[in-house]
Structure 1
Amino acid sequence: MVDEIRYEYTTVRAIRGTDSSMIAKMQKDGWEFVDQTPGMLRSTLNFRRPKKPVLWRLIGVGVAVLAVLAVAGGIASALSDGGEKGEGETKAEAATTAAATTAPVVSEQPAAAPTPTAVESPATKVITARNNPEFAALLKADSCDDANVDFATKYAGRTVAFNGSIVHMAPHGDYDTRYDFLLGPGDKGPRTTVGPAFHYEDVNVFDLNLTGKKIPAIVGAGDKFRFVAEVREFNTVQCSFYLDPVSTEVR
């Protein structure tokens, strides 16, 4: 009976208009496109691929093969050395004895999986200008450059960290405790002219998760921080690069 194929699934968010390129990239990595859910600014793409066979099953098959070979070898040895057996022992009895003493015991328990080594996965590593040339180039690019949408599409959901400052800060809607922040790389605040237009949308000061030796009671345009944030998406119409705050360290 053929074993039922089991799949693993993953979901990717892509900015509208880049769906085809994202699907092609995932298919190149072995993923099968399942379906998509369109949104106003981004689409949710669902993929699957067959799970790899469990290692212990392969080990079990190998042990069984070794057992068969050992039994065959014991029988052959017994037949060839029949003249050296004890008085009154037949060749068949000698073969049975050899098989019983040489055949390994095959355990029905799966082989214990090796203990994984704690190694930081590239997918969880915080992206900085030092360890990612694409991000280093992005921080020096124009706010409407294609590098913005390329980076947002490739690294959506990943975490980035950079030294920057608040370019602008305004209340969000009718709320006086929630704000929209415009951030820029570097230390020039409102005078920033280079790099993406990073946005935090509809957050309060507590959402910034301020850290450092001297945490300010209020924040405003011109304040310098070490921003750590999650990549959301890039709005190609507004040339706005949206992030979600993770932590904000005072510099």
Structure 2
Amino acid sequence: MILAIVIGVAAALEDGGGKKDGANKSAAATASAEPSATSAPTATGSAAAEVITPQNNPEFAALLTTDSCDNANQDFATKYRGRTVAFDGSIVHMAPHGDYDTRYDFLLGPGDKGPNTGIGPAFKYEDVNTLDLKLTGRNIPATVRAGDRFRLVAEVGEFNAKQCIFFLDPVSTEIQ
């Protein structure tokens, strides 16, 4: 059977596409559709390469390891607003958002110390439910709580200098 397929493909290639019937037209349409399908992963791949991490961005690495609320925070938020960051972090605190029972405000910190986090800026996911966290990884829990550790991937929002809080929008949250 494999031999028959190889012979069929070779015969089609030998023909050189000289026939102008409907079969060749649909084959050409399929072939022209394939490059756009393959170009989408390439675009996604390049977007993934642009994720800001402490390993590829010294500014971000410095923010995650200091406890000051200076202009570097505002500068980073302004420069990278709308860009994606990824870092290992934990839930420092979570509280219901307003009067909601299933929507929360999450205060997040770099590292794995949860409520005992003492370095880095405070990051906040505001008005999200646990489905918005887009949990991935092994053993996804039914609930999350303060102290849980994650690989956080999020979009940079604004920085509130009065509260010294970075607002982020979750992209994905990998269980650690």
TM-score (norm 2): 0.73
Per the alignment, in what secondary structure is the counterpart of residue 157 of structure 1? Answer: coil
The higher radius of gyration belongs to 1
Cα gap change, 1:198/1:145 in structure 2, threshold over 3 Å: closer, same or farther?
same
Higher relative contact order (CA closer than 8 Å, sequence separation 6+)? 2
Does the alignment pair 1:129 with 2:33? no
How far does the alpha carbon of each residue in 1:59-86 deviate from its partner, in whole angstroms, 9 at most, with x for none? xxxxxxxxxxxxxxxxxxxxxxxxxxxx
Structure 1: distance between partners of 2:170 and 2:107: 12
What residue identity is the alignment partner of 2:158?
Answer: E
What residue identity is the alignment partner of 2:137?
Answer: G
Structure 1: distance between partners of 2:48 and 2:140: 31
Per the alignment, in what secondary structure is the counterpart of residue 74 of structure 2? Answer: helix
Cα gap change, 1:143/1:198 in structure 2, threshold over 3 Å: closer, same or farther?
farther
Alignment match of 2:101 (pick from 176, 182, 186): 176
Cα gap change, 1:204/1:172 in structure 2, threshold over 3 Å: closer, same or farther?
same
Q: Structure 2, unaligned stretches of length 5 or more?
A: 1-34
Q: Equivalent pairs: percent with the same residue?
A: 74
Does the alignment pair 1:162 with 2:162? no
Does the alignment pair 1:212 with 2:131? no
Shift of 1:145: 2.3
TM-score (norm 1): 0.52
Residue 168 (structure 2) aligns with: 243
State how many pairs are aligned: 137
Residue 188 (structure 1) aligns with: 113
Shift of 1:144: 1.3
Cα gap change, 1:122/1:225 in structure 2, threshold over 3 Å: closer, same or farther?
closer
Per the alignment, in what secondary structure is the counterpart of residue 221 of structure 1? Answer: coil
Question: Any conservation in 2 of the 1:143–1:240 contact (CA below 8 Å)?
Answer: no
What residue identity is the alignment partner of 1:132?
Answer: N
Spell out structure 1 runs of 4+ moving beyond 2 A. Answer: 117-124
Per the alignment, in what secondary structure is the counterpart of residue 112 of structure 2? Answer: coil
How far does the alpha carbon of each residue in 1:181-212 deviate from its partner, in whole angstroms, 9 at most, with x for none? 00000010000010010000000000000000
Per the alignment, in what secondary structure is the counterpart of residue 184 of structure 1? Answer: strand
Residue 141 (structure 1) aligns with: 66
Per the alignment, in what secondary structure is the counterpart of residue 207 of structure 1? Answer: helix
Per the alignment, in what secondary structure is the counterpart of residue 163 of structure 2? Answer: coil
RMSD: 2.1
Structure 2: distance between partners of 1:169 and 1:240: 14
What residue identity is the alignment partner of 2:123?
Answer: F
